[in-house]
Amino acid sequence: MGMFALKWAQGRLARAWSSDAKNRCIWIACLLVLFLSIGSFCRTRDTGAASFSIDLDKPFNEVLAIVDEVARSGSIKGTFEYRGDEQLGGAQFAEKSSLFSAWTEPGKVFYKIRTKALSPSHFLNSNDVGTVAVRYVVQERGPNSTRLFIDAVFIENARHHGHPSDGYVETCEFGEIGKLLKEREQLQKLAASGQPLSPGQESTSLSQERQEEIKAEAQKNAKPASSSPKTPKTKDAKPKGASPSELPKVAEVDSAKLADLQRAIAEQKSLLAADHAALDRLEAQRRQMRASEFVRVKSDRAELKVLPYSHARAVEALKKGQEVTVLAKSAHWYQVRSEDGQEGWISHTLLEVQP
Amino acid sequence: MQLCDAGSTTSYVSRSMLKSTLALVILCLSYLTVGSQPGYAIPAFARKYGLPCSACHIGWPILNVFGQQFRDNGYQLGNEKDSPIYQNPSYWPITFRVTPQWHLESQTKVQIDDPSGLTPGTEQTVTTHGFDLSGLDIWTAGTLYKNISFSVLPSMGEGDTFHFENAWVRFDNLLNSPWLNVKVGKFELDTLLSEKRFLTLSGVGGGWFNYHFLPVGDSNGFGGIGDNQIGLEISGHNKNSYARYSIALLSSVDGNPGLTTTNAGTANPGTARTYDTFINLNEGFQVGGLGVQRVGVFGYFGQNPTYYLSSGGVPVEGKGNRSFSRVGAYGWWYLKDLDIETLYMHGQDNVYLGNGIAVNDPAGLPPGAAGPTWNGGFIEAHYTYNPQLIFTGRYELVHMSRQANPTLAALPSLGNVDSFTIGYRWYPIMFSRAGLAFHNEYSQAKTGNTSILTQGDQTIRSVMIGFDFDY
């Protein structure tokens, strides 16, 4: 049967070739070339959409400063040229880049660019020499809420092909930002508590200047807390109309009243602080509720991974139908929290949005 | 009279060839000087450096822009990674390549013997098929020292004797300039459209006809510019390898060691004493986001003996050398994922070579004999759907423009070739240390008036399904 089909095909081809259909073949070849050309051009680079986004419970300026620091760090995390390397060095900070379509939404945009990158890893179908670009967009969402977008793309020099990241670059870049945010938070806490900074704590990856800035800012913020409750100036509290002999008694009575008042003020302040904290928590929960997306596992076998990587270690096996909360998104992976509080990454192909 | 005619024809051809070559060289040198792209230094590459295959290959074995640059730079990155301290001491730069396959070969109008021997026989189509193996390549290449690169490629087929497909040493970046490199040994001619790095492997489609064409009855021992040759090559390029040149001085032995010349199908060791020349010039230019477009010209100018002096019946020196040439132009055009290779080639052999007649036997030339000339070309497209899947298609022809023997003019298409090939390669594995391609190909060629009994056109076909792998 197979041989018959083969002979039939051979015969057809031979007849087609021997007839005037040769011209037709050439036309078909031309059309094929045209079709493939159109196909080539239709495969445009998709660099316009953000591939990683996350809402942070941090003030806009604080996130902006850290992102600026990371954008100027000189290396791109999560990608490399040579096996054994962990990052791509030689990157430059930029305020503009033609490798991404213009960002039209609100927010401050930074770029980190590495030219002459040789087939960098973690970019889909990476090939030849080109430029790696990372874009950071910082958006102010509220007084204590900031949204961060990160995209990474590799564009070939010759064919200008765009190769989007598989998500790992954005994740690692955010990891760096998150690390610096935590370091800054720790510095602020230490400054607020008045404890001296240990050498280990001082040796963060932030530059010395940035550390000084952060320390100064943290101490400035901490001053009102350390000096409160404010004690009134006693010489201004001198009562009028009392005789010199009565003055000590009056002073004793006044100081007792003053102490009571100070205690009352301190109690009220602590209650107010507790209320503020509760309010902040509620606000954070409200934002989390608004930002969260509840999805469901649709696959029979789905693993929650430590990192957004197929080969990354699994932290939990999820069951079909299990509900999870989306914490962050990259191009192909969602960071989620499972019902039992376990956090990790899962491929978006294994999830479905709840009806 | 015939000898004079032939001689004048030869000298005229030589003069015109010289003029056209000179003009070509001047044109191309001016083009290289004026049209050179600004260069920039890029860290070079090799698998031993821990880079992925995709750094150099669009799809194995087609080179991308950086791959061409790395090759031209003597397999060197040009950065600190070239230093031995970055190399894994257990690294052994060797690759084995073989292709287990099933293939079918078919040829029409084959003369079938009459068992009785009373008649010349009959013509019929012969088809064979089955599982098979390609030859084995054992390839090692790299650097011996900074700016001294090498390649050794022993190759053999089942039951064949071992031979060197290539073996050379190259002194790179002489005078600290990429424009001066010297290579000595047996090597592939510097043809940008390389038969060694193309995508078709079948019996019919596994070579470009233009690169190996000889007219019917021609005794030239030159196997074509697709054959690796022995000699010395001076080459150079700008930093991004967009502008390139090479000039090679080659022994007239078609790449066979042992000073072996071939005439009329007879190989005679220890007889060589002439040299051929090959020149290639090409230039690349970026066109928007389409890719680097490359154009170039080449010329091979050689000689081949028409007879031998013998001692005790053993040929000892080739004599009666006569000239031949292959000149052409090519382009490699990129339209994003679609790349198209185009080639035009003109070939000519001396009248004695074309008719298989020794120079010392001018009376053997048929009346009106002339040096055969022909023109050919191909268009070959590759569509890289992604680095793991590449489609390819080719249309190629070689047509005689002048037959060596006027009596053959009655068969105007004698020796003409019209061919097409289609196929695809799927790479389930392509890592830095191993590659596997699932290869499917159909190829067909029609050769004009080559059937022995009826002088009809013959058609040859190949179907190939195989696994091309190296590790």
The minimal CB distance from B461 to the residues A10, A33, A116 is found for A10
Are A328 and A313 spatial neighbours (Cβ–Cβ below 8 Å)?
no
Pairing of strands B100-112, B57-59: unpaired
Residues in a beta bridge with B155: B137, B163
- B85 at interface of A, judged by CB pairs closer than 8 A: no
DSSP state letter for A329:
E
- B333 at interface of A, judged by CB pairs closer than 8 A: no
b/e A61-70 (16+ beta carbons within 10 angstroms → b): ebbbbbbbbb
Residues in a beta bridge with A53: A149, A329
Are A138 and A67 spatial neighbours (Cβ–Cβ below 8 Å)?
yes
**Secondary structure of residue A179 in the 3-state scheme:** helix
B181/B174 Cα distance (integer angstroms): 6
Q: Pick the residue from chain A with its C-alpha nearest to B128.
A: A3
User: Which is nearest to A29 in space by CA: B166, B380, B98?
Assistant: B380
B246/B241 Cα distance (integer angstroms): 12
Using alpha carbons, list the distances in angstroms from residue B215 to A141, A242, B256, B276, B350.
78, 133, 21, 20, 12
pLDDT at B35: 34
Give yes or no for residue B43 having a pLDDT over 80.
no
pLDDT at A9: 53
pLDDT at B396: 97
- Say which residues have a Cβ less than 8 Å from residue B435's Cβ, sequence separation at least 6: B53, B60, B427, B429, B469, B470, B471
DSSP state letter for B86:
G
Return the higher-pLDDT residue of A2 and B430: B430
Nearest Cα of chain A lies from the Cα of B171 at a distance, in angstroms, of 25
- Say which residues have a Cβ less than 8 Å from residue A32's Cβ, sequence separation at least 6: B381, B393
Residues of chain A with pLDDT under 50: 1, 13, 16, 38, 41-49, 202-205, 214, 218, 221-242
DSSP state letter for B252:
S
User: Which is nearest to A324 in space by CA: A291, A346, A355, A308?
Assistant: A346
Q: What is the CA radius of gyration of chain A?
A: 31
Give the number of other Cβ atoms within 10 Å of residue B236's Cβ.
19
Using alpha carbons, list the distances in angstroms from residue B334 to A100, B340, B391, B440, B470.
23, 6, 15, 24, 27
Give the number of other Cβ atoms within 10 Å of residue B174's Cβ.
14
Measure the CA angle with vertex B192, ends B186 and B196; round to 5°: 55
B357/B3 Cα distance (integer angstroms): 12
What is the number of H-type helices and E-type strands within chain B?
3, 24
Are B326 and B346 spatial neighbours (Cβ–Cβ below 8 Å)?
yes
Q: Where is average pLDDT lowest: A42-46, A186-190, B191-195, B303-307?
A: A42-46
pLDDT at A221: 46
A240/A331 Cα distance (integer angstroms): 74
| ipTM for this prediction | 0.77
User: Mutating which of B337, B430, B441 best tests the A interface, going by the most A Cβ atoms within 10 A?
Assistant: B337
The minimal CB distance from B55 to the residues A17, A22, A119 is found for A119
Q: Which two tokens stand for residue B130?
A: 């089955």
User: Mutating which of A19, A26, A128, A154 best tests the B interface, going by the most B Cβ atoms within 10 A?
Assistant: A128
Are A95 and A110 spatial neighbours (Cβ–Cβ below 8 Å)?
yes
Q: Which two tokens stand for residue A63?
A: 């996130």
- At B207, the pLDDT band (50, 70, 90 cuts) reads very high
Give yes or no for residue B32 having a pLDDT over 70.
no
- Return the sign of the alpha-carbon dihedral for residues B374, B375, B381, B387: positive
Using alpha carbons, list the distances in angstroms from residue B317 to B82, B259, B262.
46, 10, 11
pLDDT at A3: 53
A127 vs B64: CB contact, 8 Å cut-off?
yes
pLDDT at B21: 46
pLDDT at B12: 42
Average pLDDT on B145-170 reads 89
pLDDT at B11: 44
User: Mutating which of A7, A38, A42, A119 best tests the B interface, going by the most B Cβ atoms within 10 A?
Assistant: A119
A269: region left, alpha or beta (phi > 0 left; psi from -120 to 50 alpha): alpha
**Secondary structure of residue A290 in the 3-state scheme:** helix
pLDDT at A248: 60
- B55 at interface of A, judged by CB pairs closer than 8 A: yes
Nearest Cα of chain B lies from the Cα of A92 at a distance, in angstroms, of 17
pLDDT at A51: 73
pTM for this prediction: 0.72
Give the number of other Cβ atoms within 10 Å of residue B370's Cβ.
20
Distance of CA B151 to the CA centre of its chain: 18
pLDDT at A187: 85
Q: Which amino acid is at B377?
A: G
B352/B372 Cα distance (integer angstroms): 10
Residues of chain A with Cβ-Cβ distance to B290 below 8 Å are: 159
B156/B153 Cα distance (integer angstroms): 10
Give yes or no for residue B91 having a pLDDT over 80.
no
Residue with tokens 């004026």: B34
Q: Pick the residue from chain A with its C-alpha nearest to B385.
A: A40
B352/B365 Cα distance (integer angstroms): 7
Using alpha carbons, list the distances in angstroms from residue B170 to B183, B250, B324.
4, 15, 28
Give yes or no for residue B430 having a pLDDT over 70.
yes
User: Which is nearest to A52 in space by CA: A140, A137, A131, A125?
Assistant: A137
- At B14, the pLDDT band (50, 70, 90 cuts) reads very low
pLDDT at A348: 86
Return the higher-pLDDT residue of B457 and A16: B457
Q: Which amino acid is at B271?
A: T
**Secondary structure of residue A35 in the 3-state scheme:** helix
A43 vs B337: CB contact, 8 Å cut-off?
yes
A340/B5 Cα distance (integer angstroms): 98
Give yes or no for residue B146 having a pLDDT over 50.
yes
**Secondary structure of residue A15 in the 3-state scheme:** helix
Return the higher-pLDDT residue of B184 and B76: B184
Give the number of other Cβ atoms within 10 Å of residue B429's Cβ.
12
Return the higher-pLDDT residue of B65 and A239: B65
Can you list the domains of chain B with their CATH numbers? 2-470 (2.40.160.10)
Average pLDDT on B308-314 reads 93
Q: Tens digits of per-residue pLDDT, B124-137?
A: 999 999 999 988 88
- B386 at interface of A, judged by CB pairs closer than 8 A: yes
Give yes or no for residue B175 having a pLDDT over 80.
yes
Nearest Cα of chain A lies from the Cα of B243 at a distance, in angstroms, of 15
Can you list the domains of chain A with their CATH numbers? 44-230 (3.30.530), 291-353 (2.30.30.40)
Residue with tokens 């191309």: B28
B306/A2 Cα distance (integer angstroms): 50
Return the higher-pLDDT residue of A277 and B331: B331
A26 vs B383: CB contact, 8 Å cut-off?
no
pLDDT at B6: 36
Are B61 and B468 spatial neighbours (Cβ–Cβ below 8 Å)?
no
- B465 at interface of A, judged by CB pairs closer than 8 A: no
User: Which is nearest to B250 in space by CA: B268, B223, B211?
Assistant: B223
Helix (H) or strand (E) holding B393: strand B389-402
Helix (H) or strand (E) holding B108: strand B100-112
Are B459 and B108 spatial neighbours (Cβ–Cβ below 8 Å)?
yes
A162/A130 Cα distance (integer angstroms): 10
b/e B72-94 (16+ beta carbons within 10 angstroms → b): bbbbbbbeebbeeeebeeeeeee
Residues of chain A with Cβ-Cβ distance to B383 below 8 Å are: 36, 39-40
Q: Which amino acid is at B59?
A: G
Q: Where is average pLDDT lowest: B85-94, B96-105, B141-150, B226-235?
A: B85-94
B54 vs A33: CB contact, 8 Å cut-off?
no
Q: Pick the residue from chain A with its C-alpha nearest to B293.
A: A158
B288 vs A160: CB contact, 8 Å cut-off?
yes
**Secondary structure of residue B197 in the 3-state scheme:** helix
pLDDT at B376: 97
Residues in a beta bridge with B237: B244
Q: Tens digits of per-residue pLDDT, B92-127?
A: 778 888 999 999 999 999 999 998 888 888 999 999
pLDDT at B90: 64
User: Which is nearest to B378 in space by CA: B442, B329, B440?
Assistant: B329
Give yes or no for residue B38 having a pLDDT over 50.
no
pLDDT at A167: 86
Max CA separation in chain A (angstroms): 133
Q: Where is average pLDDT lowest: B26-40, B139-153, B339-353?
A: B26-40
